[in-house]
Chain A
């Protein structure tokens, strides 16, 4: 029986990914702050063929709860084959610039809570000596941009943390995968005008599944973002600052 833990289970990308694993014998444990949404996701996964879906309607961003959340997940699932951390929020950059409190909040949602949960999950996987930890970071973490550097800093710290964690766990049966999606058409990006670079969450989900199967450590999704980010990373600061990105 495959045991899957999903944190931020109401995320569009997380849901699309979970659907790819729905078949007999799969047991999900879903964590998220909104019980009503988790119930909807649960019914969906069950109808699509999941064997068992347990819910934990608590907030992953409440740091003091993280330990008990992961403990409950362990008790319910026993072994964890796959853990996906998906919660995140695009903060209003302008508001963050004006308020340290808002900046800290955005960092807590997108970075501190993610690192806290990843630390706890890593302990457990290490103990099992198997399992995969997948975390949704972002291409936004690859470079600081004037328009989005608070979110970018959060994602960058997550990516750096995961890189180190994967080296630490190298040689064990545990793998750590950093997912860096580009622009994805989900509720989080509802307000954006969508152009040709945009992708549907279902496409990202297929990429995540493939990365898990191939045990990739970092994956850009869709693939062309690797090349876009390569170019963006080599643009010298003197030019980058004039690009108003």
Chain B
């Protein structure tokens, strides 16, 4: 079937030869001319890791069946094309939640596994792959391999964060998380410096399930100011005070004066509220508002116009974390490019299961930029060098441009990983970074 599949960045790359996998019992299509295969979830990756421009994309949309759920073990067996949004619709009201969720619910279970996605609770629960118990992988030799931590474990660990290259996941067992109520107690507060951000992260680590910060990347000096958020699921008792009840509380440390400028308030208008009062703002928010504010506006990526956007997301080790983030921000400042949206979070110590997983103990910084051509790409290369020197990594799910050299520096384990790549599978990303 001829179709244009794109990725979230809309920078012009696409897959055009698409085959629909209709049922999980189907075979992989036979491609006579030796072109490669790559599963496509919902295209919420920003760059080219979900695309296969010279090969064939396997559309997994019809693999959207749930298979079983056992409330005793918390294990859900699901096909890979099921959207997280669909899971939430079915399970939240029954008292279950995703153990890990990214900033959009419009991704598939397959995509969540293949990029080993992370959420605001990385410090408590690791990444998505930490909650995958078992999966069935259809390989191009026609065999379905059921793998887990104890069964074909090498293939299991290669598939988590495996960028869709190890075969087609046809079902997976995921452990859901029980919750008392579908809302969260959320606290937000401003911080003025990166030191304050790290301090807040540390203080909040134990008592809060979710932490994240929005960095004011548009401020003139990029001083590292921003807004910190932390939250816990409500307990049933609190359930009655629904949305948007707010009061101010004293800050855990002294805040220098910080005025939300037009730019940040523009963001936060769109995200949650008009202006942030001084002190701690406490709110009870429904989970949709807390986790998926951007989903309100479907296809907001189109706001970036015809040329699309890039997201740059890296993680750098905690030691020297502040220094590295400062260096990165200085580099951005020097370049003159401003990111309309930047996010900062400390990843905890829980090890990711995937051989190629991106999340690791450290600080992650994610910045969106409108596509403005080669000067921006040159900035990204400079940022890559800083990240590589610090011993960090750039997130393939968000990437459309990193060099083969940098990729190897970020993921030296690739030499082991490539033995598990299915010989019939590849992607635009893989061709690019493996040359």
Contacts and interface: CB of A to CB of B under 8 A. Distances in A.
Interface of A: 12, 36-37, 40-41, 43-44, 46-49, 187, 190-191, 193-194
A10 to B, nearest CB: 8
Given A49-B90, A191-B1, A194-B3, A41 B65 contact: yes
Contacts of A41: 65
B23 A40 contact: yes
B66 A47 contact: yes
A43 B90 contact: no
B3 A43 contact: no
A2 to B, nearest CB: 18
A198 to B, nearest CB: 11
Nearest to B63: A40
B2 A193 contact: yes
Contacts of B1: 190-191
B3 to A, nearest CB: 7
A187 B20 CA distance: 8
Contact of A43 (B20, B23, B67): B67
B413 interface: no
B25 interface: yes
A200 B108 CA distance: 16
B337 interface: no
Interface in B256-299: none
B389 interface: no
Interface in B22-38: 22-25
A191 B90 CA distance: 31
Contacts of B90: 47-49
Contacts of B22: 187
21 contacts: A12-B62, A36-B25, A37-B25, A40-B23, A40-B24, A40-B25, A40-B65, A41-B65, A43-B67, A43-B68, A44-B65, A46-B68, A47-B67, A47-B76, A47-B90, A48-B90, A187-B20, A187-B22, A190-B20, A193-B3, A194-B3
Interface string B67-93: 111000000100000000000001000
A88 to B, nearest CB: 16
Interface residues of B, number: 16
Contacts of A187: 20, 22, 62
Contacts of B69: 47
Given A37-B23, A40-B23, A47-B76, 11 more contacts: A12-B62, A36-B25, A37-B25, A40-B65, A41-B65, A43-B67, A43-B68, A47-B66, A190-B1, A190-B20, A191-B1
Contacts of B3: 193-194
A191 B23 CA distance: 17
Contacts of A44: 65-67
Contacts of B62: 12, 187
A193 B3 CA distance: 6
Contacts of A190: 1, 20
> Could you say which of A40, A187, A194 has the most chain B C-beta atoms within 10 Å of its C-beta?
A40
B418 to A, nearest CB: 33
Nearest to B19: A190
Nearest to A43: B67
A89 B20 CA distance: 17
B314 to A, nearest CB: 35
Contacts of A12: 62
B25 A43 contact: no
Interface string B43-79: 0000000000000000000100111110000001000
Nearest to B59: A190
A40 B1 CA distance: 25
A212 B319 CA distance: 62
A40 B2 CA distance: 28
A176 to B, nearest CB: 30
A193 B25 CA distance: 25
B404 to A, nearest CB: 35
B160 to A, nearest CB: 23
B90 to A, nearest CB: 6
B58 to A, nearest CB: 13
B5 to A, nearest CB: 11
Interface string B318-331: 00000000000000
A190 B66 CA distance: 23
Nearest to B24: A40
Interface in B1-20: 1-3, 20
Nearest to A194: B3
Contacts of B76: 47
B56 to A, nearest CB: 14
A183 to B, nearest CB: 14
Contacts of B68: 43, 46-47
A43 B65 contact: yes
B159 to A, nearest CB: 22
A48 B20 CA distance: 24
Contacts of B23: 36-37, 40
B93 to A, nearest CB: 10
B358 to A, nearest CB: 31
B77 to A, nearest CB: 8
Closest 10 CB pairs of A and B: A47-B66, A44-B65, A187-B22, A43-B67, A190-B20, A44-B66, A47-B69, A40-B65, A36-B25, A48-B90
Nearest to A41: B65
B2 A43 contact: no
B34 to A, nearest CB: 23
